[in-house]
Every structure is written in C-alpha cells, then in structure tokens.
Amino acid sequence: MNLAYIKERDTLYLERSPENPTHAREPREGIVINLAGDGRVVGIEIERASQRADLSLLRVGDFPGEVRALAGAAH
C-alpha cells in the first residue's frame, strides 16, 4: 500500500494496488473510491484532507522500526 499527500490539491491518496482504475464511485462528497474492472478497490482519494483530519498526526516509517511525523503536511 502506498500513501501520497498532494499538498497543492489538499488530497490524500491511499493506493492499494498500482494499477489504473476503470471506474470510481463517490459514496460521500470528497471521498472517491477507485475500482478495478472486477470491483476490487485500487485506491481511495480523500479531498480536502487537511479539513477532515489532523495531518500533523500522519506518521510514516517501517513497522516495527523508526516512525516519524510528516512535518508541515497540514495547511
């Protein structure tokens, strides 16, 4: 799984599979679920991420192992 925060768009993207989705659905405004042709979830896009969560709490690292906060992630 990969995680990307696109600061310019204030979008958090959780990639479950590195493939292009064939379609998407938006079960709630600003939450987009990208799907493969067979219905598998390949990614989840969270728009206005800094308004929905405290991104200063976002941590990255190897588990177990060093974990660090992403400084300046939130607006």
pLDDT one-digit tens code per residue, 9-60: 999 999 999 899 999 999 999 999 999 999 999 999 999 998 998 887 776 6
With tokens 């799907």, the residue in question is 35
pTM attached to this predicted model = 0.73
- Strands 59-61 and 67-69, bridge-based pairing: antiparallel
Residue 44 phi/psi, 5-degree rounding, is -130, 125
Q: Does residue 69 fall inside a structural domain?
A: no
What is the number of domains present in the chain? Answer: 1
* 30: containing domain: 2-52
Give the residue carrying structure tokens 């709490």. Answer: 57
DSSP class of 47: E
Closest CA to 3 of 40, 55, 65: 55
In angstroms, the CA 4 to CA 12 distance is 6
Query: Is residue 59 domain-resident?
Result: no
